[in-house]
Structure 1
Amino acid sequence: MSDLDQMLEQAKAIQDQMASMRDRLSATEVTGTAANGSVRVSMTAAGNFTAVHLDPDLLADAGAEEMEELMLAALRDAGEQLREMTERRMGSLNEIFQSIPQ
């Protein structure tokens, strides 16, 4: 097998792995929480929000400003989870790139 054929084969393998990673990420869902789970926001890695939960007891006790802060905290938690997950998965992709001969 020539060097060019080998490079093309490696490029195809990387492309397949990237597509697989993209598919897994877009299907992945995380849930951000606040107030010990009384506020929950679920979203996919593609940025689509799928669910919101507000504990009825919390709604009865909290004012509008507090609820806004808790919702924002849950959204930030979900965003941070996605960022960390993406970094972990991209780390494995970086390992693949580093294994390619220069």
Structure 2
Amino acid sequence: MSDLDRMLEQAQAVQEQMAAMRDRLSATEVTGTAANGAVRVSMTAAGTFTAVHLNPNLFTDTDPEEMEELMLTALQDAGAQLREMTERRMGSLNEIFQSIQQ
């Protein structure tokens, strides 16, 4: 097998692994929280929001400005979780690239 054939084979394997990772990421969901879980926001790794939960007690115990802050905190938490997860998965992809280069 020539070097070019081997490189093409490795490139195909990387493409397949990237497609599988993309599929897993799009099916992965994270949930950001605030106020000890009284506010929850769920989203997929693709950035689609899938659910919002607000504890009914918040409506009697929380003023509108505080509610807005809690929602923002939950959204930021979900975004942070998504970034961390993506960085971990990209790290494994970098390991694959390094193994191919050797």
TM-score, L = length of structure 2: 0.97
User: In structure 2, what is the equivalent of residue 48 of structure 1?
Assistant: 48
The one-letter code matched in structure 2 to 1:44 is T
User: In structure 2, what is the equivalent of residue 36 of structure 1?
Assistant: 36
Question: Structure 1 segments of 4 or more deviating over 4 A?
Answer: none
The gaps in structure 1 that reach 5 residues or longer are: none
3-state DSSP of counterpart to 2:100: coil
The one-letter code matched in structure 2 to 1:76 is Q
**Displacement of 1:101:** 2.9
User: In structure 2, what is the equivalent of residue 94 of structure 1?
Assistant: 94
Cα distance in structure 2, aligned partners of 1:42 and 1:59: 20
Cα distance in structure 1, aligned partners of 2:25 and 2:35: 27
The one-letter code matched in structure 1 to 2:87 is E
User: In structure 2, what is the equivalent of residue 85 of structure 1?
Assistant: 85
> Are residue 75 (structure 1) and residue 75 (structure 2) matched?
yes
User: In structure 2, what is the equivalent of residue 12 of structure 1?
Assistant: 12
Cα distance in structure 1, aligned partners of 2:75 and 2:101: 42
The gaps in structure 2 that reach 5 residues or longer are: none
User: In structure 2, what is the equivalent of residue 27 of structure 1?
Assistant: 27
Cα distance in structure 2, aligned partners of 1:83 and 1:68: 22
